[in-house]
Structure 1
Amino acid sequence: MAMNQLKSRVDGDKVLVLERIFNAPQELVFQMFKEPEHLKHWWGPAGWELPVCNIDFRPGGTWHYCMKCMEQGEYYGMESWGKAIYKDIVEPEMIHYTDYFSDADGNIDESLPASNNTVEFIDLDGTTKLVNRSEYVSAEELQKVLDMGMLHGITETWDRLEKHLQELK
């Protein structure tokens, strides 16, 4: 797998697997998912910022955030709220959480697909292979997020993560 290239596949009909190698050590890549001051630099597609990012990083804790489009265009000013509930954390190797769409108060939006996510951080001798498995309740729910442009968004998001990692090195 080439550095900086997102690979995606569907396992079965309701699990989306995303993989990419980052040119940074495992501990540093893990920190990017743990600390608000890092997430604010890279979470979300190009042109989106993270004005709200509240994290209680522990099993049972939550991450409540708002992505806001700051780029002129059809989505300018649009906000997208999310809430994650952490299930298990093995630092610096794995984060398991359920990800929901929510409102500004943290109320989960049951009308939009939720995903059960496991993010693995695999040490490759100085670089890190990130493997993200997102399981949805049905093939239809997975298709819904794909139709919403999720693959394009995650590609841009992980490009921003690579850029932020390089700025820190």
Structure 2
Amino acid sequence: MSREREFVYLLELDAPRELVWKTWTEEEHLKQWFAPAGFALSVAKLNVVSGGIFHYCMRAANGVEMWGKWVFREVVAPERIVLVNTFSNKHGNPTRHPYVADWPLEILTTATFADVDGNTVLTIAWHPIDASPSEQKTFDSMHDAMTQGWNGTLGQLEAYLKGRNQGPETN
């Protein structure tokens, strides 16, 4: 079996770490940025503690829905979140990727939030859990697409943070 490759995404955000943490852990913030462009996010459940879940729906303007679920393994505010990320149905049961049949069912995600001179360096690391050889090959072949996806989503986070940093209040 080939050695598995981890996907790592790194971004420096012009915002304090405490605010970036809130954007990842509070519903009112997540609804503003965590979905592909043109999608609205609704939250079925959010409990950001070890063993808690974030169950959500991303809805396109044409009504198409994609459900997802995070199961939190470790939450160390405001430094690190470790979670298992899956696509799901509206009941929270894991499902396959809606467009990529060989996508791994579960992805271990580690997001770290480092304070660097008042800015936040966000690092996201993805690693498939118990992937079959074909799932691992698909994951390994899609790093460019994953980068594009995170560019879009985190571009929305950057715009949201910029708007919040220009106001009189940042919490």
TM over 0.5: yes
Q: Percent identity?
A: 33
Q: Tell me the number of residue pairs that the alignment of Structure 1 and Structure 2 aligns.
A: 153
Report the Cα offset of residue 147 of structure 1: 8.1
Q: Which of 31, 46, 59 is equivalent to 1:40?
A: 31
Tell me the equivalent position of 1:91: 77
**CA 1:19–1:143 in 2, change beyond 3 Å: closer, same or farther?**
farther
Cα separation, 2, equivalents of 1:141 and 1:130 = 26
* TM-score between the two structures when normalised by the length of structure 2: 0.81
Cα separation, 2, equivalents of 1:65 and 1:81 = 6
> What pairs with 1:68-147 in structure 2 (closer than 5 Å)?
68-70=59-61, 76-109=62-95, 112-113=103-104, 114-137=106-129, 138=131, 140-141=134-135, 143-144=137-138, 146=142
Q: Which runs of 5+ in 1 are unaligned?
A: 1-11, 71-75
* TM-score between the two structures when normalised by the length of structure 1: 0.82
- Which of these two proteins has the greater Rg computed from alpha carbons? 2
Report the Cα offset of residue 79 of structure 1: 1.1
Deviations 1:118-165 (A, max 9, x none): 100010011110000110144643553528943322111000000111
**CA 1:93–1:131 in 2, change beyond 3 Å: closer, same or farther?**
same
Q: Which runs of 5+ in 2 are unaligned?
A: 166-171
**CA 1:77–1:143 in 2, change beyond 3 Å: closer, same or farther?**
farther
**CA 1:14–1:33 in 2, change beyond 3 Å: closer, same or farther?**
same
